[in-house]
């Protein structure tokens, strides 16, 4: 299967604002979560095998860390015209089926994915209390077909560090997944399809 690696993003950049809907019509914005000590913006998909592999553990991760103060925002930026399973209504079904207790939002314009520099699904951006990027790496080293158990170890260690006021490890292994399915003509400069 084709693999895309997350873009190199400078640690310390500020989180880009967004105003995106969930499947129930509620619009969520970055400022809604200002009081949280850590924010994870995760670009995911309903269909990518890399996301399918970790979604149960990702849901559990979300439940484990909600009480510790982590706010997760999952965003789907894939083109729903070419991939109907990525449409807004399907996000609600996905969240309910897999136990996502965090907002799962649709980036129909794909502008938010571009603002963050997201390249693949999954693509994780962990921000500290000042909404500065602290971690942009993999969930863990499990990949479809490599036989490794999905634990979320890398992201868990990064969140633990941020919540405790420390810095995550400086060596961060990029995430790998399916490329974001850009609408034809809307591909960013870093996309192989551009």
Contacts of 189 (CB under 8 A, 6+ apart): none
pLDDT of 170 reads 87
pLDDT exceeds 80 at position 2: no
* Tens of pLDDT, residues 148-163: 999 999 999 999 999 9
pLDDT confidence tier of residue 3, bands split at 50, 70 and 90: confident
| Strand extents, DSSP E, 35-158 | 38-43, 70-76, 104-106, 120-121, 123-127, 133-135
* Structure-token match 């999954």, residue found: 122
Crossing angle between the packed helical segments 49-66 and 153-163, to the nearest 10 degrees:
30
Residue 41 has pLDDT above 60, yes or no: yes
Rounded mean pLDDT, 86-109? 95
> What's the maximum distance between 2 C-alpha atoms anywhere in the chain?
43
Residue 42 has, within 13 A of its CA and on its CB side, a CA count of 28
Helices (H) and strands (E) in the chain, counts: 4, 10
pTM above 0.85, yes or no: yes
> Which of 7, 15, 2, 3 is closest to 174 using CA atoms?
7
Average pLDDT of the chain is 94
What local confidence, expressed as pLDDT, does residue 193 receive?
A: 53
pLDDT tens-digit readout, 18-40 = 999 999 999 999 999 999 999 99
Centre a 10 Å sphere on the Cβ of residue 147 and count the other Cβ atoms it contains.
Answer: 6
Average pLDDT over residues 122-130: 97
Whether the CA torsion 42, 145, 5, 165 is positive or negative: it is positive
Query: CA–CA separation, 176 vs 51, rounded Å?
Result: 10
**Residue 192 clears pLDDT 80, i.e. is over it:** no
**Residue 143 contacts residue 178 (beta carbons within 8 Å):** no
Q: How much is the pLDDT for 194?
A: 46
């Amino acid at each position: 299967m084709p693999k895309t690696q997350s873009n190199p993003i400078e640690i310390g950049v500020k989180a880009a604002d967004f105003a995106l809907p969930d499947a129930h019509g509620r619009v969520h914005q970055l400022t809604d979560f200002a009081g949280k000590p850590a924010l994870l913006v995760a670009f995911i998909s309903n269909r990518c095998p890399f996301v399918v592999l970790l979604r149960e553990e990702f849901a559990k991760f979300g439940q484990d860390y909600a009480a510790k103060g982590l706010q997760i925002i999952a965003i789907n930026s894939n083109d729903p015209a070419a991939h109907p399973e990525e449409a807004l209504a399907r996000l609600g079904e996905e969240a309910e089926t897999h136990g996502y207790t965090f907002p799962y939002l649709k980036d129909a314009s794909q502008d938010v994915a571009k603002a963050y520099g997201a390249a693949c699904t999954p693509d994780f951006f962990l921000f500290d209390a000042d909404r500065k990027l602290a971690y942009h790496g993999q969930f863990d080293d499990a990949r479809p077909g490599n036989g490794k158990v999905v634990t979320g170890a890398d992201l868990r260690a990064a969140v633990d560090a941020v919540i405790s006021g420390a810095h995550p490890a400086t060596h961060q292994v990029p995430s790998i997944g399916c490329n974001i399915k850009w609408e034809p003509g809307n591909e960013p400069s870093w996309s192989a399809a551009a």
